[in-house]
Amino acid sequence: MSVLLSQQAVKETENKKNELVMYLAHDIRTPLTSIIGYLSLLDESPDIPVEQKAKYVGIALKKVQRLEKLINEFFEITRYNAQQIKITKENVDLYYMLVQLIDEFYPILSAKGNYATLHADENLTVYADSEKLARVFNNILKNAVVYSYPNTEIIISAKANKNKIVITFENHGQTIPSDQLSAIFEKFNRLDEARKSDTGGAGLGLSIAEEIVHLHGGEISAHSENDTVTFTVSLPTMT
């Protein structure tokens, strides 16, 4: 019975992957058509006014950036099962890692009027794979930025709690229904129609985050109510 359930889960995951690839293949055509159209206008009309030329270039650039994102998602999907994630642990300055993370996201945050604040002890450390753990936090914060209401705060907190380190990311955005919340860490899961827009990704970021956290012997969870979404990562202090 368990073998049949496992085979069914694998089949469902593969179906989701194939559906997403089909969606991406279709969606790539839209920005590509626009890019070709605006570049053709620029090529065929070299004497158009400077302001109009700047407008066309700006639109084409945005479409190129969208196209790049879609292509990167293809690579993310195809390599997900191609290599097993391995970790190498060491003592990591957790406070510095989170400060650096916020600095890296500053341009994206400020574009929507958002900002991130950190509440953590400056001497807080964790025994982990620094590169992989940074990827976990990057994926969670990226998700928070995309789905936060404009001009709102994202609160990142980290503290030692007995034999574990608890890190939380809290943002203000649309409440995630409980049925969708329960599937948020599934491979290729994209919560709703919003994830099929320009903000949507391949639905792998949180799944990868969960896998890395579990490899560290930790836990990751999500909670949402009253227009607030909170991700909590719990890591053992030493394993």
> Which of the four pLDDT bands, split at 50, 70 and 90, describes residue 239?
low
Q: How far apart are CA 208 and CA 203, in angstroms?
A: 9
Of all residues in the chain, what percent carry a pLDDT higher than 90?
A: 37
Tokens of 239: 């394993």
Q: In this structure, what token pair is assigned to residue 65?
A: 């950036």
pLDDT at position 196 over 50: no
Place of tokens 């609160």: 155
- Please give the structure tokens belonging to residue 86: 């391995």
Token pair for 153: 């705060």
Comparison of pLDDT for 202 and 155, the residue scoring more = 155
Q: Cα separation of 228 and 51, whole Å?
A: 42
Rounded alpha-carbon distances, angstroms, from residue 239 to 79, 90, 146: 29, 11, 33
pLDDT score for 63: 82
What is the pTM for the complete model shown?
0.68
Report, as an integer, the average pLDDT of 45-52.
Answer: 87
pLDDT reported for residue 62: 83
Alpha helices (runs of H) in the chain, residue ranges in sequence order: 2-44, 50-80, 94-111, 130-147, 178-181, 205-215
pLDDT confidence of residue 3: 56
Q: What is the mean pLDDT of residues 82-107?
A: 86
Phi, psi of 173 (to 5 degrees): -160, 180
The whole-number average pLDDT for the span 58-81 is 74
Mean pLDDT of 149-161: 96
The answer to whether 150 touches 114, Cβ cutoff 8 Å, is: yes
pLDDT in tens, 99-135: 999 998 888 898 889 999 999 999 999 999 998 899 8
pLDDT band at 34 (very low <50, low <70, confident <90, very high): confident
Whole-number average pLDDT of the chain? 82
More confident residue, 121 or 19: 121
